[in-house]
Amino acid sequence: MTTRDRTLRATHVVWDWNGTLLDDNHAVLDSVNQVCAGFGRPSITMDAWRDTFSRPLVDCYSRLLDRQLTAEDWIRLDKTYHEAYRSVLDTCALATGVPVALHDWAATGGTQSLLSMWFHHELVPLVTEFGLLDLFARVDGLRVDTGGGSKAGHLVAHLAAQGLDPAEVVLIGDVVDDSDAAEAAGASCVLVTTGVMNRRKLEVTGRPVVDSIPEALALLRRS
């Protein structure tokens, strides 16, 4: 664990979905490699993707594919990725410790919500299918046709819609963009190593970095 925000006081947790509550790394890697194949690049390993991943995604994929992506390239890439991801989504499971850890947090009086960059109209049925919907005060996903940008503005709006004081909120996610979004919103952040970024990149943020959802919640004390 790193030193920044080592002692966290929070009454509300905002959860990330992909790579945090949902263990979907194999689906992500398969989808990335479908993109690679479509652009004539050899397949990569999960370690290589964790080294490469960043937002905005258009810059990330430009580095991966070693080319400047046009608007048409991005549309084709986005379609290839999401079609591949959806084809294996039913093989994904909840992360270790979920949903028990979330029920434990609620039992202490803590509240929680979900903010994802996955498409809203697909996110809500998926969360419902996993039996998690009732745990969240609010669920927000992406409400545009294509994504790839920062979570910062989405988090600000997500907190405002619930009337939450950012000082009482911690965002738990798996990528540096989660830390940046928390910074922009005035919230705290804990990062987990379960997703698409390696520990070295996460630790550069100075946020606490842990290996599981239960460990992340163990850092929190409600005010």
- Domain residues of the chain, as ranges? 8-23+93-221, 25-91
Q: What CA–CA distance (Å, rounded) separates 2 from 90? A: 35
Instruction: Kindly tell me the burial class for residue 42, based on how many C-beta atoms sit within 10 Å of its own C-beta (0-12, 13-18, 19 or more).
Output: exposed
Q: What percent of the chain has pLDDT over 70?
A: 94
What would the pLDDT profile of 131-150 be if each residue is shown by its tens digit? 999 999 999 999 876 654 68
3-class SS of residue 8 = strand
Residue showing tokens 């979570």: 151
Going by their DSSP bridges, the two strands 188-192 and 169-173 should be labelled as parallel
Mean pLDDT, rounded, of the chain: 93
Over residues 116-122, mean pLDDT: 94
Amino acid at the residue 51: D
What would the pLDDT profile of 168-198 be if each residue is shown by its tens digit? 999 999 999 999 999 999 999 999 999 999 9
Q: What local confidence, expressed as pLDDT, does residue 145 receive? A: 67
Class for the domain spanning 8-23+93-221: alpha beta
Query: Does 3 have pLDDT greater than 80?
Result: no
Residue showing tokens 């599981």: 212
Reported confidence tier of residue 1, pLDDT bands at 50, 70, 90: very low
DSSP letter, residue 121 = H
How far is CA 52 from each of CA 55, 77, 82, 175, rounded to the nearest angstrom?
Answer: 10, 16, 19, 12
220 phi, psi to nearest 5 deg: -95, 140
Count of residues making up the chain? 223
Reported confidence tier of residue 106, pLDDT bands at 50, 70, 90: very high
| Residues ≥6 apart with Cβ < 8 Å to 85 | 24, 27, 28, 30, 31
Over residues 32-58, mean pLDDT: 95
Which residue, 182, 192, 193, 129, is CA-closest to 155? 182
pTM above 0.85, yes or no: yes
